[in-house]
Chains A and B, each alone.
Chain A
Amino acid sequence: MSQDPLSPVALHKALTRIWATPPGWGRLSAVNHTILGKRFMMLALVFFTIGGVLAMLIRAQLATPGSAFIGPELYNQIFTMHGTVMMFLFAIPMFEGLAIYMLPKLLGARDLAFPRMTAYGFWCYLFGGMILIVAMLLGYAPNAGWFMYTPLSSGTYTPGINADVWLLGITFVEISAITAAVEIIVTILKMRAPGMSLTRIPIFGWYMLVTATMMLIGFPPLILGSILLEMERAFDLPYFDPTRGGDPLLWQHLFWLFGHPEVYIIFLPAAGVLSTIIPTFARRPLIAYNAIIIAIVAMAFLSFGLWVHHMFTVGIPHLALAFFSAASALVAIPTAVQIFAWIGTLASGRTKFDVPMLYVIGFFIVFVCGGLTGVMLAMVPFNTQAHDSYFVVAHLHYVLVGGFVFPMLAALYYWLPHFTGRTSVYRLSIPAFWLILIGFNLTFFLMHLTGLMGMPRRISTYPSNWGWDWLNLLSSVGGFLMTMGFALVLVDIIMQFRFGRRGAQNPWRASTLEWAMPTPPPDYNFAALPAVTQRADQLDPDALARSLAAGEGYLGFARADRQETLGVDMMTGMPDQVIILPQRSFLPLWTALATGVFFLGLLFKVYWIVPPAAVVVIALFLLWPRALGARRNMGPIDIGQGEAVPADGEVEDNVTWWASRAAVAADATLYASLLFGALYLAVVAPGWDGPAPATNWLPAIGLATAFGASVLARRARRLNQAGDSPYRWLLGGAALAGLTALACVTGMVLLGDATTHANLALRFALYAYCAIHAGIAMLIMAHAAWRWREGFVSAVRATDLRLSVLWTDYAALALLPAWALMVLLARSGGAA
């Protein structure tokens, strides 16, 4: 049955009533992607300002030789915090914010797949960042470098809580990165405008799909490393202590397994921005669309095969060095493919220049220089000479500022009219650009020279007889010029928000969907969802905006106070479900606060508060699905255009299912990193000798009960499909999963003193991982049983049962390599 058509104004009012966030304290309940995307970006800019002030302190200290401006201890904190803030609190959240704000608009959806998860991620980012900044203000900032190398960051050499602030604060912040990655992947794959097949999505969608997948694979090794190092610092479990079977190099491997893909995780969204902006100003479609997709995929894979180029000097055989050196050089090729595609697009179009293009040109100049020094550093002999010198500092700033900051400034000026609905009056952006470009090159180009002249990085002062004096002074002058440029940008943004004049809806004459809506955008994005019949970067947003505002399209109505958007088939883009999104809620805020208590308990070693905080977090998470789902089958629902599709809870291919699979992929990556770590220590660690205690039968018992739980979960699902009660089978499965967790915890207890050797500490970690996952399986099965009793589950609405099977299977499969590895560790010796 079709809905009665409303006038555009009435439709706007009806949709706004459903999607709007209330004022006052109600703002804290916001789950809307437009609001949260802007909050992410604004907070990232605050952290960028803090990181910039820290950089100025560094340059003030290094401006003259023998400076006593700040002592070495404070300097260590400042350079550590500068890197940490810029990488973890600015760069990653900045592009996450842009993606959160922009993706649904580019794809033709009304929000992201999990709005409350977006809000939870934001609060984790805010609270985790605050831990780091407050610690810095109190003089307890991390001080072992943003890479936290062991043994320097171990308890012996960095007592106190400085390193713990980094390990726990960053892990807290990374929750937002993982949640954002899951959201982005699922949204791009499942929540697009009807007709937008995978090969029609705007190129920014491809970039973000690949980036989010890289985040899902890249972040877990660092999270694991942080957990292991915190366990070493807090409980003396010796994963990185070479005197007890550990190895400091394991930290470097885990860190750079994250750290190098991280560079591309930061660059690719910026490249996506460039691939969006450049065709608009060239007034022609992007050339080599297909080649760019291949290049993105190639970069994603290659970036995981070159982490050791950060470790060329640690003593690795030539053959391994050659693998990583070759991969490091090769990655320049897909980068160059994109550069040439952009140049080709500009050269073959009728290019017009405006402020965003200034920053695009700045990107070309700076990033290409950084790329070339990157190829130099990929070569082992040169790398050995330049290692830990200012040449590396210059290179990384050319790559990161060129490859991220300049494109983000271009993005800022390109989309500011979208954020504000206004255009700039004062044109401060132009002097700002020149100050930034000149200041940047003055600062960092000269660092190539100081580096080649032998100046090491991370030193707080230097003598005056090495010829570095005037170069450092000029670098500092350049740094302050650049800061003036950034300050002007900030003033310009404030002026545009406050005094900018109302502008056209599509000021750049762009061809992408985000301009097919009023600016600033309404809470619901599109009054109706468009049907897309061609590549989504070659549309006519002006014509679309008028018809969509009139409700001409899919879901062009307000229904039952529900926040509705469409889910589509991943490949073809044909609508296959109506996704009913959860509305505003304070639950994400409360959950993040409880998570914060958990992390603060660990930080201040108030361990009694940690288990209750964990229980509260779990309890709050279990409250989230309360408002989701239906107690009856709805059947096909009208979506307009004469079509009807089921609700998301009634199809197998729904967003919850895909998000769970993505979460399992991230989880499995963390586990694979742990298995790698165990094998690495058994093979490489210098102090791995002597007999080790044999393993007992507890893993085998756990394995039997875990597979039993898995069998019961499958049986429950089959019974549910046949219309019979799965209740008792689910409870039985939950009990078996609980027994598995108990067996693993008993195994941990019976290990004895795991602080004596890494062999036992690794078994402790394996038991802990398996216990936690058996616990998760137990909770999910018990929760599914409760949902079935409450009427949320039927033969059609069976997502809860599918999730039970997924997580019980994973818990059982995780025990297999754990057991095998424990047997291997018992035979490998090392715990005498």
Chain B
Amino acid sequence: MIRHLWPLLAGFTLWALAFILLYALQYLGCYFGWAPAAHRTALVVGYVMSLAALAGALLVQLALLRRRGSAATSLDRIGIGATIAALAATAVTFGPTLLASACI
């Protein structure tokens, strides 16, 4: 059952994981006193990885949709829409890793 719902949930689950990863990176970097350049690099790498993971999930879902052809359900198509929305949300929510000050 749950596997049928994954197309719908995958994108925003990745968004949530990215949130936890980047929020934790931000906090731990400040707690352990990482050098600003290293801290920024870690955050940007985390941001890019999050975007890449979502793009990958989207490509997988598109490939699955093509493979299923007429057997694809509307839930598959809704899932693709949700993943696109999650990709956009990830780009916007975590975009500030590129410029905002991490520990002030």
Chain A contact residues, CB within 8 Å of chain B: 189, 198-199, 290-291, 293-294, 297-298, 300-302, 304-305, 317-323, 326-327, 330, 334, 570-571, 653, 683-684
In the assembled complex, the Cα of A411 lies from the Cα of B104 at a distance in Å of 48
Contact residue among A294, A302, A323, A653 (Cβ-Cβ distance under 8 Å from B22) = A323
Residues of B within 8 A of A318 (CB): 96, 100-102, 104
Minimum distance in angstroms from A459 CB to a CB of chain B = 32
B37 at the interface (CB under 8 A from A): no
Minimum distance in angstroms from B34 CB to a CB of chain A = 13
In the assembled complex, the Cα of A304 lies from the Cα of B89 at a distance in Å of 13
The tally of residues in B whose CB lies under 8 Å from a CB in A reads 38
Contact residue among B85, B93, B102 (Cβ-Cβ distance under 8 Å from A327) = B93
Are the C-beta atoms of A199 and B75 separated by less than 8 Å? yes
Are the C-beta atoms of B89 and A302 separated by less than 8 Å? yes
Residues of B within 8 A of A321 (CB): 100
Are the C-beta atoms of A326 and B74 separated by less than 8 Å? no
Contact residue among A189, A290, A330 (Cβ-Cβ distance under 8 Å from B1) = A189
Q: Which residue of chain B has the shortest Cβ distance to A326 in the bound complex?
A: B93
In the assembled complex, the Cα of A269 lies from the Cα of B19 at a distance in Å of 26
- B5-18 interface code vs A (CB 8 A; 1 in, 0 out): 00011001101100
Residues of B within 8 A of A305 (CB): 15-16, 19, 93
List 19 extra interface pairs beyond A199-B73, A298-B82, CB under 8 A.
A198-B75, A290-B77, A293-B78, A294-B82, A297-B12, A297-B82, A301-B13, A302-B89, A305-B19, A317-B103, A318-B102, A318-B104, A319-B96, A326-B93, A327-B19, A327-B93, A570-B1, A683-B27, A683-B28
Residues of A within 8 A of B19 (CB): 305, 323, 327
Residues of B within 8 A of A683 (CB): 27-28, 31
Minimum distance in angstroms from A298 CB to a CB of chain B = 5
B56 at the interface (CB under 8 A from A): no
Contact (A297, B9) CB under 8 Å given A291-B81, A326-B93: yes
Are the C-beta atoms of A330 and B81 separated by less than 8 Å? no
Are the C-beta atoms of B12 and A301 separated by less than 8 Å? yes
- B83-101 interface code vs A (CB 8 A; 1 in, 0 out): 0011001001111110011
Interface centre among A189, A198, A323 (most CB of B within 10 A): A323
Residues of B within 8 A of A290 (CB): 74, 77-78, 81
Minimum distance in angstroms from A453 CB to a CB of chain B = 31
Closest 3 CB pairs between A and B?
A322-B96, A301-B12, A319-B100
Are the C-beta atoms of A330 and B92 separated by less than 8 Å? yes
Q: Which residue of chain B has the shortest Cβ distance to A320 in the bound complex?
A: B26
Minimum distance in angstroms from B35 CB to a CB of chain A = 16
Are the C-beta atoms of A317 and B30 separated by less than 8 Å? yes
Residues of B within 8 A of A319 (CB): 26, 43, 96-97, 100-103
Contact (A330, B93) CB under 8 Å given A189-B1, A301-B12: yes
In the assembled complex, the Cα of A302 lies from the Cα of B8 at a distance in Å of 15
In the assembled complex, the Cα of A783 lies from the Cα of B78 at a distance in Å of 43
In the assembled complex, the Cα of A510 lies from the Cα of B12 at a distance in Å of 34
Residues of A within 8 A of B27 (CB): 320, 683-684
Can you list 24 contacts pairing A with B, beta carbon distance less than 8 Å? A198-B4, A199-B73, A199-B74, A290-B74, A290-B81, A293-B78, A294-B78, A294-B85, A297-B12, A298-B89, A301-B16, A302-B89, A305-B15, A305-B16, A305-B19, A318-B96, A318-B104, A319-B43, A320-B27, A323-B96, A327-B19, A330-B89, A330-B92, A570-B4
Minimum distance in angstroms from B93 CB to a CB of chain A = 5
Are the C-beta atoms of B1 and A571 separated by less than 8 Å? yes
Residues of B within 8 A of A189 (CB): 1
Are the C-beta atoms of A323 and B93 separated by less than 8 Å? yes
Are the C-beta atoms of B96 and A304 separated by less than 8 Å? no
Residues of A within 8 A of B31 (CB): 683
Residues of A within 8 A of B77 (CB): 290
In the assembled complex, the Cα of A305 lies from the Cα of B77 at a distance in Å of 25
Residues of B within 8 A of A322 (CB): 96, 100
Minimum distance in angstroms from B81 CB to a CB of chain A = 5
Residues of B within 8 A of A570 (CB): 1, 4
Residues of B within 8 A of A327 (CB): 19, 89, 93
Contact residue among A300, A326, A334 (Cβ-Cβ distance under 8 Å from B96) = A326
Minimum distance in angstroms from B53 CB to a CB of chain A = 15
Are the C-beta atoms of A301 and B15 separated by less than 8 Å? yes
Are the C-beta atoms of B104 and A317 separated by less than 8 Å? yes
Q: Which residue of chain A has the shortest Cβ distance to B74 in the bound complex?
A: A199
In the assembled complex, the Cα of A570 lies from the Cα of B74 at a distance in Å of 15
Minimum distance in angstroms from A6 CB to a CB of chain B = 36
Residues of A within 8 A of B86 (CB): 298, 301
Are the C-beta atoms of A571 and B12 separated by less than 8 Å? no
In the assembled complex, the Cα of A736 lies from the Cα of B83 at a distance in Å of 45
Q: Which residue of chain A has the shortest Cβ distance to B85 in the bound complex?
A: A298
In the assembled complex, the Cα of A588 lies from the Cα of B85 at a distance in Å of 44
Within 8 A of A (CB), among B23-46: 23, 26-28, 30-31, 43
Residues of B within 8 A of A653 (CB): 1
In the assembled complex, the Cα of A814 lies from the Cα of B19 at a distance in Å of 24
Minimum distance in angstroms from A570 CB to a CB of chain B = 4
In the assembled complex, the Cα of A31 lies from the Cα of B4 at a distance in Å of 33
Minimum distance in angstroms from A463 CB to a CB of chain B = 37
Residues of B within 8 A of A304 (CB): 16
In the assembled complex, the Cα of A317 lies from the Cα of B30 at a distance in Å of 9
Minimum distance in angstroms from A537 CB to a CB of chain B = 15
Are the C-beta atoms of B101 and A326 separated by less than 8 Å? no
Q: Which residue of chain A has the shortest Cβ distance to B82 in the bound complex?
A: A294
Are the C-beta atoms of A320 and B82 separated by less than 8 Å? no
In the assembled complex, the Cα of A323 lies from the Cα of B103 at a distance in Å of 13
Interface centre among A300, A319, A323 (most CB of B within 10 A): A319
- B60-76 interface code vs A (CB 8 A; 1 in, 0 out): 00000000000001110
Are the C-beta atoms of A297 and B8 separated by less than 8 Å? yes
In the assembled complex, the Cα of A326 lies from the Cα of B19 at a distance in Å of 12
Are the C-beta atoms of A320 and B23 separated by less than 8 Å? yes
Q: Which residue of chain A has the shortest Cβ distance to B102 in the bound complex?
A: A319
In the assembled complex, the Cα of A291 lies from the Cα of B73 at a distance in Å of 15
